[in-house]
Each structure stands twice: as structure tokens, then as C-alpha cells.
């Protein structure tokens, strides 16, 4: 039996009332965005953790965008890993015993083949996994499917990374649509996920060109219904984080449509 949790990306900051509002509106989850840097400090994270004992929102973190585990510059790889680990540290502070997904874009192919890029990113993920284990952090490293063919992160790559490193993942349905110029089919994506027991995901409307993702846009009702018509076939718990320009409004729209179907 599938369980669907819905929430917005972005929380408007670390104020407790923002998380309370998300819960009071009937939503189930929230993803804290560290888009340009890890801005949350320890005291803020611990206050959110305490408040969430009652709210019981499914919390996750999106690590900063400035990450490339396939950089030709070792210093940039080191800085990328530091940003992921700082996100993990805050994620662990937010945990009330549950595992917190730490979502990130793993890297770019640059001049490398897909195979070589995979191996280099795999090596870095394994090293990150070892540190997470040593520190006993309650987090899940969750590399995300990406929206441009120049980026590492097609669904098969992400699922292979999970299999070979024991990391988790984030499937962004809209990114996959943009990455494949509108030809990614929700039915086929869901088929690839049918053996998963727990799935973290992103969703929104999206604009794209032949080069892939252009920008996130508001989520259309037709698109929402199309996605729901396919994910109902899963036997999993799936969290869907809306990343549109109005993530809270569109998460509520998704929740209302879900109630009707």
C-alpha cells in the first residue's frame, strides 16, 4: 500500500511558525533549502528538532548548488564534499531518530565519459558514506536526478550509484522530463522504482529546451494527476517535495487533488 507525503521546498527560514504553518495547512513534509550555502546554525536546528517532535513533518535538506564531485580541481571536490558534510551535520541535528535525506546534484560530465564520471563520483560518495557512518549521523546521502544532459544524474546512473555505494537518492520527476526533452514517461520512471520501499522525490512544472531544464514553473493540475495516476502503482512510502515558484501553494494543490482521487 502506497503512502504519499507532500510538502514544499523552502521554509521561509528557520522560524518555528513557518514549520507550524506547513503542518497546520495539512501538509506532511518540508525541505530546507541551503541553495547558496549552509545558513542554519546549531541552535536553530535544535529548536526545529524540538518543535518537530509534535509537528512530525518529514524533514529533508537540499545541500548547496555549488557541488561538483567530478571537478578537475581537487580543491573544488574538497569544497563540494565539505558542503555536503556540513549539510549532513545540520541534518543530523534535526533528526528525532529518523533518517534525514540530504539532497544534492552530484556533478557534471565535463570532458569525461559517462562511465568515467560515474566511477569518480562513486569514489567520492563512498568516502562521504564512510564519514557519515563514522560520525553516526542520522542522514541519507541522496544524489538527485538532474535536468540537463550535461549533468551527471540520469535515473539509471542514480539507481546504479545507490546499488554500488548503498547511498539513497532523490528522483526529480520534472528534471527527468526536461533532461529527455519531454520524452521521459512517468510510467517508465515508476517501473524503475517499483522495488523501492522508500522514495524521496521532487516535482513541479518545468520549462526546457533541447539543452534540458530552463526553469521551474507552476505545477499544472493535468501534470499532477498524470503523476498520481502512475505512483499509485508503487508499494512504497514516497515523499514529494514541490519545487515550483510557489512551492507551498502548489504543494497544497497537490494535496487537494490527492484527496479527490
Distance CA 243, CA 171 (A): 13
- pLDDT confidence of residue 222: 96
Quote the mean pLDDT of the chain.
97
Say yes or no to pLDDT of 261 above 90. Answer: no
Band (217; pLDDT cuts 50, 70, 90): very high
Q: What is the CATH number for 172?
A: 3.20.20.150
Say yes or no to pLDDT of 1 above 90. Answer: no
Distance CA 69, CA 157 (A): 14
- pLDDT confidence of residue 39: 97
Range of the domain at 15: 3-260
* Tens digit of each residue's pLDDT (9 = 90 or more) over 65-115: 999 999 999 999 999 999 999 999 999 999 999 999 999 999 999 999 999
Q: Give the burial class of 20: count Cβ atoms within 10 A of its Cβ; 0-12 exposed, 13-18 middle, 19 or more buried.
A: middle
The pLDDT of 218-242, averaged and rounded, is 96
DSSP the chain: --EEEEEEB--SSS-HHHHHHHHHTT--EEEEE-TTS----HHHHHHHHHHHHHH--EEEEE--S---TT-S-HHHHHHHHHHHHHHHHHHHHH-SSSPEEEEE---B-TTS-HHHHHHHHHHHHHHHHHHHHHHT--EEEEEB--SSTTBS--HHHHHHHHHHH----EEEHHHHHHHTTT---HHHHHHHTTT-SEEEEEE-EEEEETTEEEEEEPPPHHHHHHHHHHHTT--SEEEEEE-SSSHHHHHHHHHHHHHH-
- pLDDT confidence of residue 233: 87
The pLDDT of 31-52, averaged and rounded, is 97
- pLDDT confidence of residue 206: 97
* Tens digit of each residue's pLDDT (9 = 90 or more) over 150-174: 999 999 999 999 999 999 999 999 9
pTM > 0.85: yes or no: yes
How many domains does the structure of the chain reveal? 1
* Tens digit of each residue's pLDDT (9 = 90 or more) over 246-256: 999 999 999 99
Amino acid at each position: 500500500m502506497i503512502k504519499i507525503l507532500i510538502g514544499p521546498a523552502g521554509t521561509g527560514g528557520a522560524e518555528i511558525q513557518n514549520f507550524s504553518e506547513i503542518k497546520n495547512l495539512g501538509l506532511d513534509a518540508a525541505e530546507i533549502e541551503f541553495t547558496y550555502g549552509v545558513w542554519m546554525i546549531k541552535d536553530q536546528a535544535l529548536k526545529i528538532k524540538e518543535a518537530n517532535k509534535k509537528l512530525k513533518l518529514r524533514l529533508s535538506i537540499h545541500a548547496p548548488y555549488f557541488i561538483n564531485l567530478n571537478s578537475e580541481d581537487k580543491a573544488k571536490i574538497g569544497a563540494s564534499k565539505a558542503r555536503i558534510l556540513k549539510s549532513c551535520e545540520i541534518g543530523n541535528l534535526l533528526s528525532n531518530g529518523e533518517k534525514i535525506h540530504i539532497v544534492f546534484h552530484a556533478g557534471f560530465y565535463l570532458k569525461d565519459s559517462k562511465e568515467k564520471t560515474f566511477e569518480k563520483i562513486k569514489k567520492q560518495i563512498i568516502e562521504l558514506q564512510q564519514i557519515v557512518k563514522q560520525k553516526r549521523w542520522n542522514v541519507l546521502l541522496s544524489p538527485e536526478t538532474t535536468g540537463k544532459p550535461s549533468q551527471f544524474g540520469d535515473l539509471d546512473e542514480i539507481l546504479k550509484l545507490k546499488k554500488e555505494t548503498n547511498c539513497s537518492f532523490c528522483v526529480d520527476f520534472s528534471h527527468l522530463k526536461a533532461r529527455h526533452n519531454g520524452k521521459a514517461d512517468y510510467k517508465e520512471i515508476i517501473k524503475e522504482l517499483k522495488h523501492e520501499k522508500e522514495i524521496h522525490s521532487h516535482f513541479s512544472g518545468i520549462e526546457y529546451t533541447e539543452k534540458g531544464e530552463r526553469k521551474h514553473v507552476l505545477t499544472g493540475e493535468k501534470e499532477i494527476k498524470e503523476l498520481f495516476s502512475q505512483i499509485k502503482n508503487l508499494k512504497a512510502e514516497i515523499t514529494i517535495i514541490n519545487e515550483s515558484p510557489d512551492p507551498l501553494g502548489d504543494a497544497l494543490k497537490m494535496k487537494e487533488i490527492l484527496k479527490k482521487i
